[in-house]
């Protein structure tokens, strides 16, 4: 029965952690963005995030995005820098053309820092990205 289950490979969907400017108090904050580089809209997106290490695990954080249009992005979370000492997992589940897709992104501890920031064209900002 397992051989009958088809799990499609997810392409064209990226996750980025970006250094943003909080305009209210002019401070830096780290925003988490989901980027849809596909030519189709994505629907009913559920994102479950959690930080973890061998000795510590954070609470699960859940977010839902009803629709993410083709070639667009959505900021769905603000990360505290204290979490960068942990591995951070983002499990993304969504529907594309009425078919369920799932992909897990992991930012390993120490990889989110100013020295690793790169230009992200669609956001017109600098950040760390996983494809």
Token reading at 86: 């942990």
Select the more confidently predicted residue: 54 or 4: 54
CB 81 within 8 A of CB 111: no
Of the chain, the percentage scoring pLDDT greater than 70 comes to 97
In this predicted structure, the answer to whether residue 1 has a pLDDT above a threshold of 70 is no
Give, in order, the Cα–Cα distances in Å from 131 to each of 7, 59, 111: 18, 25, 15
- Computed over every residue of the chain, the mean pLDDT equals 94
Task: For the chain, state the CA radius of gyration.
Answer: 15
Return all residues near 5 (Cβ < 8 A) that are at least 6 apart: none
Task: Give dist(CA 17, CA 47) in Å, integer.
Answer: 14
Which whole number is the average pLDDT over 92-102?
A: 95
pLDDT at 6: 76
pLDDT, one tens digit per residue, over 21-33 is 888 888 899 999 9
- Cα three-residue angle 32-38-43, rounded to 5 degrees: 70
Q: How confident is the model at residue 72 (pLDDT cuts 50, 70, 90)?
A: very high
- 108-124, pLDDT tens digit by residue? 999 999 899 999 999 99
pTM of the model: 0.93
Please write the tens of the pLDDT for every residue from 35-46: 999 999 999 999
Among residues 125, 130, 122, 106, the alpha carbon closest in space to that of 37 is found at 122
């Amino acid at each position: 029965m397992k051989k009958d289950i088809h799990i499609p490979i997810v392409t064209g969907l990226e996750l980025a952690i970006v250094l943003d400017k909080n305009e209210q108090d002019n401070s830096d904050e780290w925003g988490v963005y989901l980027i849809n580089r596909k030519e189709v809209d994505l629907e009913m997106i559920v994102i479950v995030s959690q930080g973890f290490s061998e000795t510590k695990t954070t609470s699960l954080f859940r977010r839902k995005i009803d629709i993410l249009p083709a070639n667009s992005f959505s900021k769905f979370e603000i990360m505290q820098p204290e979490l960068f000492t942990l591995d951070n997992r983002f499990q993304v589940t969504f529907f594309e053309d009425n078919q369920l897709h799932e992909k897990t992104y992991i930012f390993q501890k120490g990889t989110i820092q100013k020295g690793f920031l790169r230009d992200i064209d669609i956001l017109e900002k600098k950040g760390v990205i996983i494809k």
